[in-house]
Amino acid sequence: MIPKNPLSRRNFMSLAGATGAVVMAGCSKPDQPKTDIITPVEILARHHGAIYRAVAVLEEIRGGMNARMDLPPEMIGGTVEIIRTFVMDIHQQMEEKYIFPVFDAQGKMSGLVGVLREQHAAGARLIEILRGLCDGFSAKDLEKRRTMASAIHLLSRMCRAHAEWEDTALFPLLRSIVPPKSFAELSSVLYRTESELLGQNGFDEIIRKLNGYENILGIGDLASYTPRAEDLS
């Protein structure tokens, strides 16, 4: 469970508050965070990497369904569950509880943050549709296959764009509006929250499961994505 009050009131006001605190973010202080501390952006970007891999698995499944291949139902349902648990219960909750409010308080990127919140809700609806379709799924069921393929495409398209906008427009601004001390505390909060929700080595376990599905689909090696000369002709 996410801690209700991970930040002290004083530090939260520094994190999300006045313009004067933002100016001080550029000042050198004795308690400035150490360079070896993993940053909030690094934590969230690592999440995006896992999400991209899960979406790539779903895209390969979609391709297999279009070819009318019978894929292991547990692989389809397992990938959807990884996305539901990791994306909805962890990544999105961390953003909505700790990241978006920082921009709200500063009155920055309100349009983008609004769209990101809408997409969180849209993603939840698509994931629930996929979960329902996974029950008793067969690639021979043309109507269900088409519906699942469409839902996968919509989710994949939105997830990739969502993460790309965050990585290129939202997250780069985070350090500039959060004072160094509060930035370091935010890092600790996100890291601790991830550990509590995923458990020890939980992130590595997610990657291990995804890699198992990737191996089944023949994309378990990064080199498998490299176009061959005959693919380009």
pLDDT, tens only, 108-155 = 999 999 999 999 999 999 999 999 988 777 767 788 888 989 999 999
Task: Please report whether residue 4 resides in a domain.
Answer: no
| Number of domains the chain is built from | 1
Task: Please report whether residue 198 resides in a domain.
Answer: yes
Return the pLDDT at 233. Answer: 67
Task: Please report whether residue 231 resides in a domain.
Answer: no
The DSSP-derived string for 129-183 is HHHHHHTT--TT-HHHHHHHHHHHHHHHHHHHHHHHHIIIIIHHHHHHHS-HHHH
| Host domain of residue 118 | 39-221
Task: Please report whether residue 11 resides in a domain.
Answer: no
Task: Please report whether residue 186 resides in a domain.
Answer: yes
Q: Give the Cα separation of 75 and 225 in Å (integer).
A: 20
Return the pLDDT at 20. Answer: 30
Return the pLDDT at 199. Answer: 84
Task: Please report whether residue 125 resides in a domain.
Answer: yes
Return the pLDDT at 173. Answer: 93
Q: Give the Cα separation of 128 and 138 in Å (integer).
A: 18
Return the pLDDT at 232. Answer: 77
Return the pLDDT at 137. Answer: 72
Nearest Cα to 191, choosing from 94, 84, 92? 94
Domain CATH code at residue 171 = 1.20.120.520
Return the pLDDT at 198. Answer: 87
Return the pLDDT at 36. Answer: 56
Q: Which residues of the chain fall short of a pLDDT of 70?
A: 1-37, 67-68, 70, 139, 233
Task: Please report whether residue 34 resides in a domain.
Answer: no
Task: Please report whether residue 93 resides in a domain.
Answer: yes
- In this structure, the dihedral spanned by the alpha carbons of residues 12, 119, 93 and 75, taken in order and rounded to 10 degrees, is -160
